[in-house]
Amino acid sequence: MKLGVVGAGAMGQGIVQVAATGGVPVFVFDAMDGAAERGLEQVRARISRLAEKGRLTGDEAGAALDLLHAAASLEDFADCTVVIEAVFEDLDLKQSIFGQLEDIVSDDAILASNTSSLLIASIAKSCRRRERIAGMHFFNPVPLMKLVEVIRGPETSPDVVAVLNDLGRRMGREPVTVKDAPGFLVNHGGRAYTTEAMRILHEQVATAPQIDAVMRECCGFRMGPFELADLTGIDVNYPVSQIVYNGYNQDPRLKTSFPHLSLYEAGRFGRKTGQGTYTYDESGQAASAEKADFVSDANPAGKIHIDRTDDAAEAFFGPLECQIIPDDDGQSPIVAALLGEDCTAYAWRSGIDHRRLVAIDLQCDPSKRVTLMTAPGADPAHRSAVAALVASTGRAVTLIHDSPGFISQRIRAMVANLGCEMAQIGIAEPENIDLAMRLGLNYPLGPLELAEELGLSDTMTVLEHLQAITGEDRYRPSLWLKRRAALGLPIHTAD
């Protein structure tokens, strides 16, 4: 095996590094004078640092360094088994490189692109032997991100896919075979987390700090959606959102919202510019004036009425220092643990007094933070009294405006639904969708696993309420989810 890499930028360097540490001889070419050697110097320095830190032995580092070579021209790739192109996202440039490579490499050499947004079919359409063209999409920073998507183009040979999977494993990555489609797997599946958060912000249901805090502390995500968007860069994630949205014929489930566009047009790209959703200081720390916590100066509620039989609400409030009254006395706060509904719809359906209704989200972990919401026209005294009661237990309180599905139910149901839709249209095998999303985005669970954790029936309920209340097909359940929920089948059950 001999590997060629075109492009000595950050991605190219990362690919070169993991190839060499995996024992693969690698040659790198860059059209800019001296760039290949400069890139290799950085790779050599990183490999040496790994040895200093004990992550590689001296012999392993020495062997890897011996496998690094600068190519003077593309002609040096003549005897390469695989060539990976890792230049910037320009279709004309990539097609030109592939055309040149076809005139140089052998007929059985494999040509792969590290593209993150362009279809392999588009790159391959000007090639003579399209069966040997594929994608090998690494994630930045390559040495730290264990996932690699092996993209199967419309005419890619199964043998080519097998070779690239083996190469990925040799490079220490976890390969996942993915269908050629807009956004491939991770960039497609990652849309829901950010775009639904943007929608919640757009509707003024909650602030960005509130949304981030709930998703971190109650749902186990390493970063909230706005923190993550600022880290990856609005200049990256907004265009990708548009590529995926338009690539799927403007499916409403993939649509983003105005706050996303506003940040992009304002040049507020996140940490890299010092301003995104948040403002960052010179050390890269967010300096937001907004707080996620609601602090009540009211006395904790002494009595509450839990509307209807609700085991979850009774289990939560039972140990607290308040009296749970079995019948509505017309004066005390009414508490309900809602699933998918907003306070307005629930009060209208049940006939209870919306002014005293305080809804609580118990579909996620309430041990550190609890989300409460009320309907328009709610009495602030009841809201504050219930918030004070919850806060008396040491939990933080997030108070939001009326929303079907609160924050956590909306976002997690949309993440799960999009994962189910990717399974439905065959982007990858169901288990591999989960694996890729965990490795590629550090999600606590893959999207189908998330549907399983929420419960397929409950996930369906949240989506159905969202669709009915908003009137939007954005929330229509995937047939993959709908059928397995109806039949009582595990979410990973294949057709």
Is domain 3-180 classified as CATH 3.40.50.720? yes
Fold agreement between 188-273 and 303-400: no
Task: Give SS3 for 321.
Answer: coil
- Distance, CA of 407 to CA of 207 (rounded, Å): 11
Q: Which residues contact 94 (CB under 8 A, 6 or more apart)?
A: 85, 87, 113, 115, 118, 123
The closest of 37, 28, 25, 9 to 64, measured between CA atoms, is 25
Decide: residue 14, CB within 10 A, 0-12 exposed, 13-18 middle, 19+ buried.
buried
Contact 217, 211 (CB under 8 A): no
> Looking at residue 223, what DSSP letter applies?
S
Residue 478 has pLDDT above 70, yes or no: yes
Q: How far apart are CA 456 and CA 482, in angstroms?
A: 8
Question: Would you please indicate which residues are annotated as catalytic (active-site) residues?
Answer: 116, 137, 149, 187
- pLDDT greater than 70 at residue 288: no
Q: What is the mean pLDDT of the chain?
A: 96
Answer yes or no: is pLDDT of 382 > 70: yes
Spell out the domain ranges in the chain: 3-180, 188-273, 303-400
- CATH of 303-400 among 3.40.50.720, 1.20.1260.10, 3.40.50.2020, 3.20.20.70: 3.40.50.720
Tell me: the pLDDT tens digits for 198-242? 999 999 999 999 999 999 999 999 999 999 999 999 999 999 999
| Residue 341 pLDDT greater than 80, yes or no | yes
Provide the residue count of the chain. 495
Distance, CA of 489 to CA of 124 (rounded, Å) = 39
CA distances from 245 to 4, 236, 253, 272, 280 (A): 33, 14, 8, 25, 30
Whole-angstrom Cα Rg for the chain: 26
E strands in 30-122: 68-70, 82-85, 110-113
Angle at 471 between CA 468 and CA 475, to 5 degrees: 75
- Spatial separation of the C-alpha atoms in residues 391 and 384, rounded to whole Å: 10
Task: For residue 283, name the pLDDT band (cuts at 50, 70, 90).
Answer: confident
What is the average pLDDT across 322-347? 96
Element spanning 14, H or E = helix 10-21
pLDDT above 90 for 117: no
Rounded average pLDDT over 90-99:
96
CA distance 304 to 300: 10
Q: What is the pLDDT of residue 287?
A: 79
Q: Is 25 exposed, middle or buried (0-12, 13-18, 19+ CB in 10 A)?
A: middle
| Domain 188-273 part of CATH 1.10.1040.50 | yes
Whole-number Å distance between alpha carbons of 488 and 495: 14
pLDDT at position 289? 63
Mean pLDDT, residues 346-361: 96
pTM summary value: 0.94
pLDDT at residue 52 tops 80: yes
pLDDT for the residue 309: 72
Cα gap 118→180, rounded to integer Å: 9
pLDDT tens, residue by residue, 10-33? 999 999 999 999 999 999 999 999
- The Cα–Cα gap between 324 and 125 comes to 68
Q: Are 39 and 30 in contact (CB under 8 A)?
A: yes
Structure tokens at 418: 């999009």
Measure the CA–CA gap between 200 and 10, rounded to whole angstroms.
35
pLDDT, tens digit, 9 for 90 and up, residues 61-86: 999 999 999 999 999 999 999 999 99
Q: What is the mean pLDDT of residues 131-144?
A: 96
Q: Measured at the alpha carbon of residue 180, what is the angle toward residues 73 and 82, in degrees to the nearest 5? A: 30
Interval 82-92: pLDDT, tens: 999 999 999 99
